[in-house]
Structure 1
């Protein structure tokens, strides 16, 4: 490790642009995409802002750690999916759930009632062809000016990346799963 001298002057100029809702994408093969989005949801909620979370791959009855906590503190979180595609008994049903869920998420975005809307794991129904990309792009482009939206999932389509204000690609360097260590409750649920 190289030791650095801390900066003594501000390393950047403060932007002078107008504040507006941001489109943020967390993508890549590394861990932390949803976790980062949930951190933003907590930050906004802590400032008294209205937040809504939609999870495109989780079932409506999911009771993962984030569901339990968000329910306790009053952040609405809604599972829209059918779980992992490889566990699905009916992929057409999974596709229809994604389309129905997108209609609810699009309405929440367009309503302007939420400061922040999280679209967790939305890239999967997009890359599986279950949701029309152009419709998603249109809703995001036409959203009320003050609404922030965070999208998560691997392989974010380039068209979404081009539209976004901030894109972070989580890169896997090392993962416990590769060493044969299974997912652990409270860390990966």
Structure 2
């Protein structure tokens, strides 16, 4: 059988090919970006069984702080926890980010539905107040999806408010697993965190700096 030879390219050839490929990608990207001119306040939903929903929400809060954009957080479930993000914001950035811890723990911890409902409604009233405030540019509603899942809050009321009363340039992020279909429908950006592996299943408890 005749011998086959593999084509080899010099480092210069490979660099030129890479540069040409990236130039084509940039041109295509620039063409797409040229059609994106509008701005609006987004409704953002982070949901799914995987870890990172609240972490992503607080990442956006930190971006707002860095850009000196007034922002706010309402925590619906983890209010009784001493979390790193709460400590950081309250101790160092309270001048630009308001923080309200309205919950008392997960429903299986309180074991008092009436109290959970009352706390969730109190949190929602505070959330509406913050969202309506024209000076606040971004509001994070942390774990509100859990309150909605257990019907502590009326999903129709939440969706109607976000659709009809949210100021046009205000961003609102809502986190928590099992986001309701109606919320996903009204949202502009929806991310579902997928669980692949979690240390909890191997007997590892939640750890400082990772979970809280």
Q: Same fold (TM over 0.5)?
A: yes
Give the gaps of 5 or more residues in structure 2: 1-17
TM-score of the superposition, structure 2-length normalised?
Answer: 0.82
* Counterpart residue number, 2:84: 65
Higher helix fraction (1 or 2): 2
**Aligned-pair distance for 1:172?**
0.6
**8 Å CA contact 1:45, 1:51 repeated in 2:** yes
SS at match of 1:117: strand
Q: Distance in 1 between matches of 2:197 and 2:168?
A: 39
Structure 2 match to 1:146? 169
Structure 2 counterparts to residues 1-189 of structure 1, below 5 A:
8=22, 9-10=25-26, 12=29, 13-14=32-33, 15-59=35-79, 62-71=81-90, 72-74=92-94, 75-142=97-164, 143-189=166-212
Native 8 Å contact 1:88 1:94 kept in 2: yes
User: Cα offset for 1:165?
Assistant: 0.7
CA deviation digits over 1:48-84, x for unaligned, max 9?
A: 100100010022x542111111112222221111201
TM-score, normalization by structure 1: 0.92
After TM superposition, give the deviation of residue 17 of structure 1 in Å: 3.9
Question: Would you say the 8 A contact 2:81–2:105 is kept in 1?
Answer: no
CA-CA distance at 1:138 after TM superposition: 1.3
Determine helix, strand or coil for the equivalent of 1:139.
Answer: helix
Rg larger in structure: 2
